[in-house]
Structure 1
Amino acid sequence: MNAGISVNLRSPVPPFEQIRAQIASLITVGTLAPGIRLPTVRSLASDLGLAAGTVARAYKELELAGLIETRRRNGTVVAGTPAPPARTDAHGQEAATAEVLAAVDRYIAEGRNAGLDDAALLEILRARQGWSHE
Structure 2
Amino acid sequence: MRFTIDHEASEPPFEQLRRQVTDAVRSGTLAPGARMPTVRALADELGLAVNTVAKAYRALETDHVIETRGRAGSFVSAQGDAVAREAQRAAIAYADRVRHLGIDRATALDMVASALDAES
Same topology, TM > 0.5:
yes
Aligned to 1:25: 23
Report the TM-score, using the length of structure 1 for normalisation. 0.58
CA–CA separation in structure 2 for the residues paired with 1:80 and 1:32: 11
Higher relative helix content? 2
Superposition map of 1:1-134 within 5 A: 3-82=1-80
CA–CA separation in structure 2 for the residues paired with 1:82 and 1:62: 16
- SS, match of residue 18 in structure 2: helix
Aligned residues between the structures: 81
Aligned residue identity for 2:29: T
> Taking every aligned residue pair, what percent have the same amino acid on both sides?
47
Aligned residue identity for 2:52: T
Query: CA-atom RMSD, angstroms?
Result: 1.1
Aligned to 1:100: none
Structure 2 residue ranges without an equivalent (≥5): 82-120
| Structure 1 runs, 4 residues or longer, greater than 4 Å off | none
Q: Report Cα offsets for 1:13-71 as digits up to 9, x if no partner.
A: 00000000000000001110011000000000000001000000000000000010000
Structure 1 residue ranges without an equivalent (≥5): 84-134
